[in-house]
A and B are shown apart, each in its own frame.
Chain A
Amino acid sequence: MKLLYFAWVRERVGRAEETAEAPAGVSTIGELIAWLRSRGPEYEHAFESDAIRAAIDRRHAKPDAKIAGAREIAFFPPMTGG
């Protein structure tokens, strides 16, 4: 699946997008975040805040949302548009 990062999540991870396959047992957004945090200090820093929001295939998704079948998962801070 494709992972997208925006705003300060993007800055901390150091890239705007990447392709990744989560290991077996990672089935929700919350579990995906926990796995990403284990990938290195930049991810640990990016995901240390529990304010981070996620979207699955361009729809807002809660931490318990299932990621099976997702093509595109995005992570970003709380929104500040308008």
Chain B
Amino acid sequence: MAVRVQTELFDAGRETADLGAGHVDAGAVVTFTGLCRPNADSGAPLEALTLECYPEMAKEELSRIEAEARARWPLLDALIVHRHGRIRPGEPIVLVATLSPHRAAAFAAAEFVMDYLKTSAPFWKREETADGGAWVAAKAADDDALERWSRR
């Protein structure tokens, strides 16, 4: 299991291959890569996103989310990589990969990690457009996505 917070680009294909290496009992790997869209929430062309983060808490919170996913599904391994700093349209922002004997657990765990991460990992996006900069507002849809994982 691994969690990384970094400014550098990552190669999702290589990360996925590395995660699977040595797990001869794996039957499924699911990966999700979140990309920087070409437009701001206003619709204006986006020059870049700047992601601010609380690095120490981000690592701990991502580790807690990963641990919760492993408690809920039979995962052989998992990886979460989240970037911060300046990110251009088309670049990857976040990678979640889950490895399991069967696909259902891998799919569900990857979706769970993303839904949790969106509302609880301490990252904040600021959009840069020709008009200047603006902080991205949190979206109610992200809170709704989290609700379906509620156990109690």
A interface residues with partner B (beta carbon < 8 Å): 4, 6-8, 10, 51, 55, 58-60, 74, 76-82
Contacts and interface: CB of A to CB of B under 8 A. Distances in A.
Chain B interface size band reads 20 to 34
Interface in B80-127: 82, 93-94, 114, 117-126
B34 A79 contact: no
Nearest to B64: A59
Which residue, of A59, A78, A81, has the highest number of chain B Cβ atoms within 10 A? Answer: A81
Contact of A55 (B34, B51, B122): B122
Contacts of B114: 82
Contacts of A55: 54, 57, 122
Given A55-B57, A81-B53, A82-B114, A76 B94 contact: no
B138 interface: yes
6 contacts: A8-B135, A58-B54, A79-B119, A79-B138, A80-B136, A81-B94
B60 interface: yes
Contacts of B68: none
Counting from the closest, the 4 A-B pairs by CB-CB distance are A81-B123, A78-B138, A7-B124, A58-B57
A77 B122 contact: no
A74 B54 contact: yes
A5 B119 CA distance: 18
B56 interface: yes
A39 to B, nearest CB: 22
A60 B52 CA distance: 17
A76 B54 contact: yes
Contacts of B123: 79-82
A81 B82 contact: yes
B130 interface: no
A79 B60 contact: no
A43 B114 CA distance: 33
Interface string B128-142: 000000011111001
